[in-house]
Amino acid sequence: MTRKHTAPCGAAVAVLLLAAGNAYGSCAAVSASEQWKRATVIVDARALEGPTATGVQRFRVVRYLKGRGPGVIRVATGVVRKSDGSGVTSSVGLFVRRGERWRIFAEGSTLGILRTSVCDGSWRHGGSG
């Protein structure tokens, strides 16, 4: 990759990280118990991949805390990574990297894809468990 192509890619990553860092400021104040009530599914899961071209990522479920379902789930995280390295995110999207463990508060859909955001209460586990 040439130097002139490196700078735009670095800028795109910086924008994604800054958007993720400011996400909580975009959310209406909701209590943890309200987030629990609104979610149809709550899981602890490990990401099987990073951002994808569709914005839907696969996770291996460690355990279901609310609801039930398959061992591998598909989750719309709100972050898209295109084949050219560019990407799109909203201020409340989850920037998930492969191998990370997350607690996901989600709503289901008719296509079997769960939807979530930081406003729903989803967060990355700090530990390796």
Q: State residue 98's pLDDT score.
A: 96
Give this prediction's pTM.
0.75
Tokens found for residue 78: 């709100």
Tokens found for residue 77: 């995280």
Residues 30-57, mean pLDDT to the nearest whole number: 93
pLDDT band at 2, cuts 50/70/90? low
Question: Average pLDDT of the chain?
Answer: 82
Q: State residue 83's pLDDT score.
A: 85
All structural domains of the chain: 3-124 (2.40.50)
Q: State residue 19's pLDDT score.
A: 42
What is the DSSP code string of 78-128?
SEEE-TTS-EEE-TT-----TT-EEEEEEB--TTSEEE--GGGT-EE-SS-
Query: Three-state DSSP class for 10?
Result: helix
- pLDDT value at 44 more than 90: yes
Q: State residue 22's pLDDT score.
A: 45
Instruction: Report d(CA 123, CA 110) in Å as an integer.
Output: 24
DSSP state of 72: E
pLDDT band at 38, cuts 50/70/90? very high
